[in-house]
Structure 1
Amino acid sequence: MPHKDIQNYNAQQSETDQAICDVLATIIDTQLPEAESKLWHGHPVWFLEGNPIVGYSKQKKGLRLMFWSGADFEEPDLNILGGKFKDASIFYNAINDIDIEALKRWLETSKRIQWDYKNIVKRKGRLERLK
């Protein structure tokens, strides 16, 4: 069951986006049972040992699912936007856009490949690989 704040976030979305959010939150909670989830900078985010792993947010292009270390997952469906950080994301505009098997694979990979965002400020913006 997603965190209460996440449930409230999901409930504030349009009907289509709420359905997408609910599916994402349920699958993420199932695949990352050890993760702490909360609203962070106004959006649902899951953390492993204090490090942000995955989250989603409503944007103009649709609902963005972002993996903080996703650039190193070697997954063609995850779009790498920047170059400074290691994030990668995918946008959803309908519940049928969600490839559940791919999502589960990405979540498994997110446990194995992690960059240390928790200490990025302390390191003056420099990322180091945790796993």
Structure 2
Amino acid sequence: MGLPKTSTELWHGHPVWLENDLPVVGFKAYPNFVTVLFWRGQAITDDSGKLNASGSAEMSEFKLKSVDDFNSDLFDGWLQQVRELEAA
């Protein structure tokens, strides 16, 4: 799946995927977890309840505390919605 129509760069020191020079998804590593950021994440339908609003804009985040927290089907669904949001 992924985000094939995006570019990647370090943005404020963190890996970020951009579409039309606007950030859409990125991550930030900490000693005990990794935060995955979705810039329009509050527009994503998340039946799992694992995305949390973050910051003052439309952002949402998901914290990976161990490899067991990663669910490829869940992430694929979120990325599909990101692609649809960016296409609209």
TM-score scaled to structure 2, two decimals? 0.86
**Which AA in structure 1 matches 2:62?**
I
SS at match of 1:31: coil
- Residue 44 of structure 2 corresponds to residue 51 of structure 1: no
Identity %: 26
Hey, which of these two has a bigger chunk of helix by percent?
1
SS at match of 2:45: coil
Please say if residues 71 and 88 of structure 1, whose CA atoms lie closer than 8 Å, have aligned partners that are also in contact. yes
Kindly report structure 1 stretches of 4+ aligned residues shifted beyond 4 Å: none
The corresponding residue for 2:44 is 73
Distance in 2 (CA, whole Å) between partners of 1:98 and 1:74 is 18
**Which sections of structure 1, spanning at least 5 residues, go unmatched?**
1-29, 115-129
Please show how residues 28-39 of structure 1 align to structure 2 within 5 Å: 30-39=1-10
- Of structures 1 and 2, the larger Rg is shown by 1
**How many equivalent residue pairs?**
86
1:60 is displaced (CA, Å) by 6.1
How large is the Cα RMSD of the aligned pairs? Answer: 1.8
Distance in 1 (CA, whole Å) between partners of 2:44 and 2:64 is 19
Distance in 2 (CA, whole Å) between partners of 1:61 and 1:53 is 24
The corresponding residue for 2:72 is 100
Structure with more contact order per residue of length (Cα contacts < 8 Å, sep ≥ 6): 2
- Residue 54 of structure 2 corresponds to residue 112 of structure 1: no
Distance in 1 (CA, whole Å) between partners of 2:35 and 2:73 is 18
**Which sections of structure 2, spanning at least 5 residues, go unmatched?**
none
Hey, which of these two has a bigger chunk of strand by percent?
2
